[in-house]
Chains A and B, each alone.
Chain A
Amino acid sequence: MSHGPSAPSQGGGHAAHDHGPYVPVFTPGSARANELAKLMRRYPEKRAALLPALWMVQQDRGWISEAAMQEVGEQLGCTAAYVKGVVTFYTMYHQHPVGQHFIQVCTTSPCLCAGADKVVEAFLEHTGCKELGLTSPDGKYTVIEVECLGACGFATPVQINEDYVENVTPEKVPAILAGLKD
């Protein structure tokens, strides 16, 4: 059963939900391991590097698996359960693979004034995503509603992977999707 695309992409790439053995992110001597070691020096306690470490995992793997939580915990001296507690608190960490293009439409009040609900409908329609949070059958898209993106003067802002697209209206949605790189 496949939940996502198989090829990781540049910047915000999302790897497959593969069933093979877990390959660690922070293998000794790897660039990521060095990066993490350097990062820990910014703080008086190792555990403070937890959010950044989780970001590294998500950048490399597209999501944060239970095995990754175990690995990060071992790196920072905390239990996998502790790491899971943190992962589940923050909405940006994916606990499951998502589409290659993760589309977050802001629908909080200022954007609702601008018709953000119609932008959501347009994204669902044009991506083939059946409902919010489900990935499209081709693995390319996941659409969710997001709470305030902090760009209310440019309503409706939509975050696609790492990038903001501002002043989005339903009419602009097909062109925005056509412009996304695989």
Chain B
Amino acid sequence: MGYPHQSHPRETPVLSKHFGDLEAKTLEGWKARGGYKALAQALHSTPTAIQDVVKASGLRGRGGAGFPTGLKWSFMKLDDGKPHYLCCNADESEPGTFKDREIMRWTPHALIEGVAIGAYAIGAETAYIYIRGEFTEPIRVMEAALAEARAAGVIGRNAMGSGKNIDVWVHTGAGAYICGEETALMNSIEGKRGNPRIKPPFPAVAGLFGQPTTINNVETLAAVPHILNNGAEWYKAMSLSSPKSTGSKLFSVCGNVARPGNYEVVMGFPFKEFLYDLCGGPLPGRRFKALIPGGSSVPVITIEEAEAVLMDYEGFIAQGTMLGSGGVIIFDDAQSMPRQLARLARFYAHESCAQCTQCREGTAWMTKILERIVAGQGTFEDLDTIFDLAESMTGKTICVLSDSCAAPVTSGIKKFRGEFEALITGKRTATVVVGG
């Protein structure tokens, strides 16, 4: 069952299989659907054995960076005598991305099971699920599911009678995109401003409360029970392309498209068929023009480039962009790219934590200049200034927020320069009729 519409026959619903299924939200309903078997087995296995299965499955982080999950877990020194922590990153705020919200709303126990297994695999007795403050419904659903799981002894002291302790708590954010950055997230849990930290030290050495910590995305952790139940080979087989990209992946689709929503496909699925068959193509009378395929922080590609993509980590890179979080934002031929990119730059300017000069000033100036161009008051020199700014915003700051602003803007100008020049020479305005 898909959500908000029925699953397409070409989808591979693993994580999304129970979206829209109300009974799957309860502990009993989840167990009836095969839930918590993986956790029960995991608790009688060893952390290293679990890490090995996850390593062998090829699972990579679904939050955006695509780092191999099993390898990340193996950075935690199991016998160091220190308290370890697992943080589940549910601060889903990347424009275009709305998959973790659905996982939490519909299958809260899938996430709890994944978090509990992850915690055990890294030697942690405490895990925090950091949910953005705006997600009031997912927070309520997760809190209710956690209370149920605690009351049933599935998590907590002596989880499932294993003698192991796994406490899982929700920590609610309060409005800050940057808290999705792992070190900012840890600061936020510690009761601080959500400023990213300089690395090293990396979280596996000194993370939350100064102790060894692992941060994993919601979708990553929710995939883990399936891998333990069905085996690494089963997960690896879910790939139509590169052996470096395995499993199924949720793609959130939004913008100017006939059927927006979440779609789960195996890695390497042809993007062209995805866009036209699964998502229903453009709105009536429109053509797709451009898209940002991995959440707003990755480079813009043209529809022609997109049609050549195989949907995996390597496939998006081959077309000059990234898979990122899998949040696909589609722009059709009625959209003004300068106007859209100016709005996106404003998002980053608003969300900059302002620690680094390049980011604080860069995102703000990029927004001002783009908005000036959109208003018909730009110059050709402004375009050069944007590229100069982008240079100083890339690879020079504590975190990648400023890089994330520069990437869509510069790629968008390179690919749709004509639209910017038309605004500068006064041949066109950015006023568009949406969906008209």
Cβ distance A129 to chain B, nearest Cβ, rounded Å: 20
Which of B37-45, B129-137, B418-426 lies at the binding interface? B129-137
A152 touches B343 (CB 8 A): no
B191 touches A115 (CB 8 A): no
B136 touches A163 (CB 8 A): yes
Which of B10-18, B174-182, B359-367 lies at the binding interface? B174-182
* CB-contact partner of B194 in A89, A110, A112, A151, under 8 A: A89
* CB-contact partner of B173 in A78, A90, A107, A113, under 8 A: A90
Q: How many chain B residues have a CB neighbour from A under 8 Å?
A: 59
B4 touches A153 (CB 8 A): yes
Q: Is B239 an interface residue (CB 8 A)?
A: no
* CB-contact partner of A147 in B177, B253, B339, under 8 A: B177
A116 to B38, CA, bound (A): 43
Q: How does the 8 Å CB contact mask read for A110-133 relative to B, with 1 for contact and 0 for none? A: 101111000000000000000000
Q: Is B315 an interface residue (CB 8 A)?
A: no
* CB-contact partner of A113 in B132, B134, B340, under 8 A: B340
* Most chain B CB atoms below 10 A, which of A104, A109, A112, A147: A109
Q: How does the 8 Å CB contact mask read for A139-152 relative to B, with 1 for contact and 0 for none? A: 00000001111111
A58 to B4, CA, bound (A): 33
B93 touches A113 (CB 8 A): no
Known: A48-B189, A93-B174, A147-B177. A152 touches B95 (CB 8 A): yes
Which of B60-68, B225-233, B344-352, B392-400 lies at the binding interface? B344-352
Find chain B residues with CB under 8 A from A163 CB.
Answer: 136-137
* CB-contact partner of A115 in B194, B340, B434, under 8 A: B434
A162 touches B136 (CB 8 A): yes
Tell me the residues in window 332-357 of chain B with beta carbons closer than 8 Å to chain A beta carbons: 335, 339-340, 343-344, 347, 350-351, 353
A150 touches B93 (CB 8 A): yes
B191 touches A90 (CB 8 A): no
Known: A86-B191, A112-B343, A113-B340. A152 touches B97 (CB 8 A): yes
Find chain B residues with CB under 8 A from A112 CB.
Answer: 339-340, 343
B191 touches A108 (CB 8 A): no
A155 to B257, CA, bound (A): 11
Tell me the residues in window 1-56 of chain A with beta carbons closer than 8 Å to chain B beta carbons: 42-45, 47-52, 54-55
Closest A-chain residue to B260, C-beta based? A153
Tell me the residues in window 157-178 of chain B with beta carbons closer than 8 Å to chain A beta carbons: 167, 169, 171-177
B97 touches A147 (CB 8 A): no
Closest A-chain residue to B191, C-beta based? A50
B191 touches A51 (CB 8 A): yes
Find chain A residues with CB under 8 A from B252 CB.
Answer: 152-153
| Count of chain A to chain B residue pairs whose CB atoms are closer than 8 Å in the complex | 148
* Most chain B CB atoms below 10 A, which of A47, A93, A149, A152: A152
Q: Is B190 an interface residue (CB 8 A)?
A: yes
Tell me the residues in window 32-87 of chain B with beta carbons closer than 8 Å to chain A beta carbons: 83
A91 touches B347 (CB 8 A): no
A152 to B93, CA, bound (A): 10
Tell me the residues in window 35-84 of chain A with beta carbons closer than 8 Å to chain B beta carbons: 42-45, 47-52, 54-55, 76, 78
Tell me the residues in window 81-110 of chain A with beta carbons closer than 8 Å to chain B beta carbons: 85-86, 89-93, 104, 107-110
A85 to B347, CA, bound (A): 22
Q: Is B156 an interface residue (CB 8 A)?
A: no
* CB-contact partner of B137 in A115, A152, A164, under 8 A: A164
A88 to B19, CA, bound (A): 37
Find chain A residues with CB under 8 A from B167 CB.
Answer: 42
Find chain A residues with CB under 8 A from B176 CB.
Answer: 89-91
Known: A45-B190, A48-B189, A153-B254. A115 touches B435 (CB 8 A): yes
Q: Is B262 an interface residue (CB 8 A)?
A: yes
Find chain A residues with CB under 8 A from B296 CB.
Answer: 108-109
A45 touches B329 (CB 8 A): no
Find chain B residues with CB under 8 A from A47 CB.
Answer: 190-192
A110 touches B351 (CB 8 A): no
B134 touches A92 (CB 8 A): yes
Cβ distance A106 to chain B, nearest Cβ, rounded Å: 9
Known: A42-B167, A44-B209, A162-B136. A147 touches B347 (CB 8 A): yes
A93 to B132, CA, bound (A): 13
B92 touches A150 (CB 8 A): yes
Q: Footprint of A on B, CB under 8 Å?
A: 4, 83, 92-98, 100-101, 126, 132-137, 167, 169, 171-177, 188-194, 209, 252-256, 260-262, 296, 327, 329-331, 335, 339-340, 343-344, 347, 350-351, 353, 434-435
- A–B pairs, 23, beta carbons within 8 Å: A76-B191, A78-B191, A86-B193, A89-B353, A90-B175, A90-B194, A92-B175, A93-B174, A109-B96, A110-B96, A110-B254, A113-B335, A146-B134, A150-B100, A150-B135, A152-B254, A152-B260, A153-B4, A153-B252, A154-B98, A155-B255, A163-B137, A164-B136
Task: Taking A91-B174, A108-B347, A151-B101 as given, write out 10 further A-B residue pairs in contact, using a Cβ cutoff of 8 Å, ordered by the A residue number.
Answer: A42-B126, A45-B209, A47-B191, A90-B175, A109-B344, A110-B255, A112-B340, A113-B340, A148-B347, A162-B136
The 8 closest A-B pairs by CB, nearest first: A50-B191, A92-B175, A91-B175, A90-B174, A152-B254, A47-B191, A153-B260, A89-B193
